[in-house]
């Protein structure tokens, strides 16, 4: 991977958090009256690339929730904040990979659908926040990752162009967005995206199935 500018998703890419998100979303929706079953499973599967504000909009339009989007987002963030503070682990090999990139002089940032305050809480606890020049959220550009706004803004802050910038993602929808916008697309394996793996590998410029192996290769 020869790119000197790198944009990293957090959930499912740098940290093993998707199981925590799915459990929280299921528990939250069921507590609010949603019925367990295939429809709820499909709804939760659609949420990953979305900001919580956009996810809340889905709950309002499709499930009839009467709260404001911000109120719903705040409730869900409050639950996940404790998981980020205490439980969510970094994926093995991530720190070594980031260190290898820094040794090569790369500039790094995160661009996540998660509130940037929670991103900082998590990455600081895990000891990898120092590798990133800055962290940003989709909420700052008011668009989820089905649009490339967050990647364009991250590249602008890095001082790079899309073609010179690698985007690391485990989500098929997010990777499609980055690829279509002209970025170098790096697909990262996550067990919660395993069903999309053939398509992820087909469309990406590079695939990382194991961070430890990728770090060793990058260090050579």
pTM to 2 decimals? 0.88
Query: Hey, is 185 helix, strand or coil?
Result: strand
Q: How far apart are CA 216 and CA 25, in angstroms?
A: 36
Phi first, then psi, for residue 118 (nearest 5°) are -75, -35
68 Cβ contact list (under 8 Å, min separation 6): 56
E runs forming strands in 117-175: 134-137, 165-169
Contact 136, 115 (CB under 8 A): no
pLDDT at residue 24, rounded to an integer: 87
CATH architecture type of domain 5-16+89-219: 3-Layer(aba) Sandwich (3.40)
pLDDT tens for the chain, 220 residues long, are: 678 999 999 999 999 998 888 888 888 999 898 889 998 888 888 887 788 888 999 999 999 998 999 999 899 888 889 899 999 999 999 999 999 999 999 999 999 999 999 999 999 999 999 999 999 999 999 999 999 999 999 999 999 999 999 999 999 999 999 999 999 999 999 999 999 999 999 999 999 999 999 999 998 7
pLDDT at residue 1, rounded to an integer: 66
């Amino acid at each position: 991977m020869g790119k000197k500018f790198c944009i990293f998703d957090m959930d499912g890419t740098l940290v093993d958090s998707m199981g925590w998100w799915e459990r929280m979303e299921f528990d939250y929706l069921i507590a609010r009256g949603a019925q367990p079953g295939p429809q709820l499973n499909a709804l939760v599967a659609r949420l990953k690339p979305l900001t919580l504000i956009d996810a809340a909009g889905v709950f309002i339009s499709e499930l009839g929730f009467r709260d404001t989007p911000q109120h719903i987002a705040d409730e869900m963030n409050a639950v996940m904040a404790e998981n980020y503070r205490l439980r969510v682990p970094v994926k093995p090999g991530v720190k070594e990979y980031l260190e290898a990139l820094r040794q090569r002089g790369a500039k790094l940032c995160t661009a996540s659908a998660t509130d940037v305050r929670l991103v900082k809480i998590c990455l600081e606890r895990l000891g990898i926040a120092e590798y990133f020049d800055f962290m940003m959220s989709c909420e700052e550009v008011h668009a989820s990752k089905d649009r490339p706004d967050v990647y364009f803004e991250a590249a602008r802050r890095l001082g790079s162009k899309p073609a010179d910038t690698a985007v690391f993602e485990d989500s098929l929808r997010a990777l499609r967005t980055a690829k279509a916008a002209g970025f170098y697309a790096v697909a990262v394996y996550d067990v919660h995206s395993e069903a999309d793996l053939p398509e992820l590998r087909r469309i990406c410029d590079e695939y990382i199935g194991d961070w430890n192996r990728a770090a060793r290769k990058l260090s050579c």
